[in-house]
Chains A and B, each alone.
Chain A
Amino acid sequence: KAGVTQTPRYLIKTRGQQVTLSCSPISGHRSVSWYQQTPGQGLQFLFEYFSETQRNKGNFPGRFSGRQFSNSRSEMNVSTLELGDSALYLCASSLDRPGSSYEQYFGPGTRLTVT
């Protein structure tokens, strides 16, 4: 079974631009969560999507948004990029069914650099 995939793997953008990152979960997984990791910080939760609906949201400004499609693939968008948005963005999928462990499977991440 294929793992979680993220595209692109690396991205360089300029301040003020916007960016869209993509995540394809493991087949059959319905939940997709997004995380941001910056140097010195742990994984910060951005949001979670389940069945095309945002189920949970972290403490990030409205410039960060996301969506999920009917095939469970998810995208996150960051508008008006700031230097501080430079980070590794990870997505994770989980089966999220009653009786499951809610274990999350992570993708390789997208390294975003804002100049």
Chain B
Amino acid sequence: ILNVEQSPQSLHVQEGDSTNFTCSFPSSNFYALHWYRWETAKSPEALFVMTLNGDEKKKGRISATLNTKEGYSYLYIKGSQPEDSATYLCAPHTDKLIFGTGTRLQVFP
């Protein structure tokens, strides 16, 4: 069973701070690494789907990198805003998505 770990479990930052989280997974055959953002009372929303070692994706102030050889992915948020407050989930995609327990981010004004 693929064990996906995300750290930290939770994070509290001030508006304007930059932050990053880690997703670790055993290096093994997988199709892609997904990142999702899950706001309270809403549905998880896809941020990135990354497939290649060294891949880097960016959407506005949020970016992510992938290292398949060592089994980790980083998610970065530059200049955090209160609307970034959410739980961020990563999920390696083998024959199914295996989700980590997420990093809960709270950004205070």
Residues of A whose CB lies within 8 Å of any CB of B are: 3-4, 33, 35, 40-45, 48, 56, 58-59, 90, 92, 101-109
9 A-B residue pairs with CB within 8 Å: A3-B43, A35-B99, A42-B4, A42-B101, A48-B96, A56-B96, A59-B1, A103-B46, A106-B36
Instruction: Give min CB distance, A50 to chain B, whole Å.
Output: 11
Chain B interfacial residues counted at CB < 8 A: 23
Pair A45/B96 contact, Cβ less than 8 Å: yes
Cβ contact of B34, chosen from A3, A40, A58, A104, cutoff 8 A: A104
Does A109 contact B49, Cβ atoms closer than 8 Å?
A: no
A106 neighbours in B (Cβ, 8 Å): 36, 43-45
Closest to B47 in A: A103
A72 and B96 alpha carbons, distance in the complex (Å): 18
Known: A42-B102, A48-B96. A107 touches B89 (CB 8 A): no
**Bound-complex Cα distance A101 to B97 (A):** 13
Interface of chain A, helix or strand or loop or mixed? loop
Interface residues of B (CB under 8 A from A): 1, 4, 31-32, 34, 36, 42-46, 49, 89, 91, 93, 95-102
Q: Given A33-B97, A42-B100, A43-B99, are A103 and B45 also a contact pair (CB < 8 Å)? A: no
Instruction: Name the B residues within 8 Å of A92 (CB-CB).
Output: 44
Q: By the criterion CB–CB under 8 Å, are A42 and B99 in contact? A: yes
Instruction: Tell me the bound Cα distance from A58 to B43 in angstroms.
Output: 21
C-alpha gap A35/B42 in the complex (Å) = 15
Query: In the assembly, what is the distance between CA of A35 and CA of B93, in Å?
Result: 14
